[in-house]
Structure 1
Amino acid sequence: MTGHDTRAPVIGLDLGGTKIAAALVGADGAVLARHTRPTPAAGGSQAVLDALAEAAHAVRAPHAGAVGVAAAGVIDPVTGTVTSATDTIRGWAGTALAAGLADRTGLPVACDNDVRAAALTELADLGEDGTLIYAAVGTGVGGAFAAGGRMLRGVGGVAGHLGHLPSPEADGLPCTCGATGHLEAIAAGPAITAHYARLGGEPADRLQAVAARAALGDPHAVAAITLGARATGRVLGGLANALGPHRVVVAGGVPSIGALYQDALRDAFATELMAPLRALCPTPPRGGADAAVLGAAALTRTLPLHHPHTTGAPR
């Protein structure tokens, strides 16, 4: 079900495993108000829905027209549900995200995966024939694909989850999805940190510590980071051969650790490319820090809106 006043501002919500970001976004795309709060991930799905509603309330204007949610997990925009998720948010799989938030806010809600929402800000200037590969490498490895100017969502919203493509570098390693040998098992931030320990490195609690040791010449840290980067570059290069994209974007916290990672990824990517794609090179995102909330707000114009079932005053 669709339909709301497109001249009214909308609320964009970006739900991650640790933080909820909210913004009131005007019809011209300007951010009119911002708010952040922690994600009560250990509290379960209902606590997360409550926190999303509270974040929306913190930026809400009296004439706000709708809410767009960019959420972690496999999101089906048609049913408004979380069809699959890791245990980063307890009990998140199966959550009626759109209906639950609509009832809590009294506003119609559109929802999609967080990476697809952020990728919308990249797709806008590629034109009606634009083809895009967007990778987000952080605590997990997510992605989004667009072809012919349209985002691909697939059955149950599963399209784009490139972290669960097979990767030779991850052979035999358990993935968060329950399978083995997937890209996320060697390329995500925690996976690189774990591989550093397997190689004989001193225990580290986060990827940034591994990166700092790599900068000082620790060979185990260098090996773990470059292996994760090469694995990602190879997968993206193979996808580029399959899709022939106009742009490949690599976002997330892992690429931000520096040139060691970025150079290894680009080299592995280039090695995989067919001749007509040799000029293609992965780039950082253009949308900046507001990409996810702006993409979330844009969902209200392009995806089904799920309306409240309650008739009481919005919370």
Structure 2
Amino acid sequence: MTTGDGADLYAALDIGGTKIAAALVDGHGAVRLRARTATPAGGGAAVLTAAAGLLEGLGTARVRAVGVGAPGVVDPETGRVVSATDVLPGWAGTPVKEVLAHRLGLPVAVVNDVRAMANGEARAGAGSGYHRVLHVSVGTGVGGALTTGGRLEHGAHGTAGEVAHLLVPERGPVPCGCGRRDHLEAVVSGPAIEATGDARHAGSVLGRALAGLLCVLDPDAVVLGGGVAQIGAPFIDAVTTAFQAEALPPLRATPIVPARLGTDAPLVGAALLAKAGTSQWSVR
């Protein structure tokens, strides 16, 4: 395959429990080519073999580096999955960076998948006009990430911005990825909404949780993405209404805005992360 010009490209992978998406992205964050496949069973080795095969199918001759968004808590230095839920069995401990760098012969950067989404929205999407942003993704699971000045904040243990395990005062219809039912993910995730049929209630619970969380983080904006956010007004309006009713007065004007890049956000974010790393790798 060809993209039709001689520009440098950056490869991106978005690894999930049901699918793996791959793309070639230019230095401005524009997706040139895409591919996807079902996530195979068999643990980390099988998943990375399928992921590498997708990129090789797109062609890597002009690719300078690879960015990966992966589920679980990821050590951004080593690119190893520190911990993961059963959404992707056998994934915890997988040395994503090491395996893909060896297979593809390219520099590889790896972050949590929601952080990849946040990086894309912060640099080329809905968060690009704000300095400090909390990014929340609501889909099969619930995730969060923080960016400041367009850069990801990882925190001391790689979990800065995570929201899934916030305690809520009710029992969810499905378990959180960790197994508990009194966590935010158990109440507002896609499967939870499917079980109750009530997106507005889920939005209200999320809005109340954000009202407390923003007292601590005090961001300039919240970017709301993921599959559930694509429900649109019934969900996002419920989040905003509940947030404004519960938040401290100085926080009530904090904008809660829908993500702009859709399902491309983690791919764009992973690719731009890889691009940012090339200047560092080139001087080592």
Alignment of structure 1 residues 197-208 onto 2, 5 Å: none
Residue of structure 2 equivalent to 1:214: none
The answer as to 2:46 corresponding to 1:47 is: yes
Partner of 2:257: helix, strand, or coil?
coil
Identity of aligned residues (%): 47
Per-residue CA deviations over 1:192-237 (Å, capped at 9, x if unaligned) read: 334x2xxxxxxxxxxxxxxxxxxxxxxxx3xx43332211111122
Residue of structure 2 equivalent to 1:134: 135
Alignment of structure 1 residues 27-176 onto 2, 5 Å: 27-40=27-40, 42-124=41-123, 130-170=131-171, 174-176=175-177
* TM-score normalised per structure 1: 0.79
| CA apart distance, 1:10 | 1.4
| Cα distance in structure 2, aligned partners of 1:148 and 1:79 | 24
RMSD of aligned residue pairs (Cα, Å) = 2.6
| CA apart distance, 1:63 | 2.6
Residue of structure 2 equivalent to 1:189: 190
Residue of structure 2 equivalent to 1:15: 15
| Cα distance in structure 1, aligned partners of 2:98 and 2:207 | 38
| Cα distance in structure 1, aligned partners of 2:220 and 2:168 | 24
Higher mean C-alpha deviation, range 281-290 or range 12-21: 281-290
Per-residue CA deviations over 1:25-51 (Å, capped at 9, x if unaligned) read: 2223332222111111x2211110101
User: Which of these two proteins has the greater Rg computed from alpha carbons?
Assistant: 1
| CA apart distance, 1:179 | 4.1
| CA apart distance, 1:303 | 4.9
What is the letter of the counterpart of residue 39 of structure 1? Answer: T
Contact 2:136/2:225, CA 8 A, preserved across alignment: yes
Partner of 2:268: helix, strand, or coil?
helix
Residue of structure 1 equivalent to 2:243: 269
Alignment of structure 1 residues 191-230 onto 2, 5 Å: 191-194=192-195, 196=196, 221=197, 224-230=198-204
Per-residue CA deviations over 1:162-201 (Å, capped at 9, x if unaligned) read: 011111134898532144521111111112334x2xxxxx
Partner of 1:53: helix, strand, or coil?
helix
Pick from 242, 245, 253 the counterpart of residue 216 of structure 2.
Answer: 242
Contact 1:99/1:306, CA 8 A, preserved across alignment: no
| Cα distance in structure 2, aligned partners of 1:20 and 1:158 | 23
In the superposition, relative to structure 1, how do residues 157 and 93 fare at CA in structure 2: closer, same or farther (>3 Å)?
same
In the superposition, relative to structure 1, how do residues 294 and 149 fare at CA in structure 2: closer, same or farther (>3 Å)?
closer
Higher mean C-alpha deviation, range 180-189 or range 93-102: 180-189
Contact 1:98/1:306, CA 8 A, preserved across alignment: no
Contact 2:163/2:184, CA 8 A, preserved across alignment: yes
Higher mean C-alpha deviation, range 93-102 or range 238-247: 238-247
| Cα distance in structure 1, aligned partners of 2:227 and 2:256 | 15
| CA apart distance, 1:149 | 4.4
- Where structure 1 has 5 or more consecutive residues not aligned to the other structure, the ranges are 1-6, 197-220, 308-315
Contact 1:80/1:306, CA 8 A, preserved across alignment: no
| CA apart distance, 1:62 | 1.3
| Cα distance in structure 1, aligned partners of 2:251 and 2:48 | 44
Contact 2:119/2:151, CA 8 A, preserved across alignment: no
Pick from 243, 250, 255 the counterpart of residue 281 of structure 1.
Answer: 255
Residue of structure 2 equivalent to 1:4: none
Structure with the higher fraction of residues in strand conformation: 2
How many residues are treated as equivalent by the alignment? 273
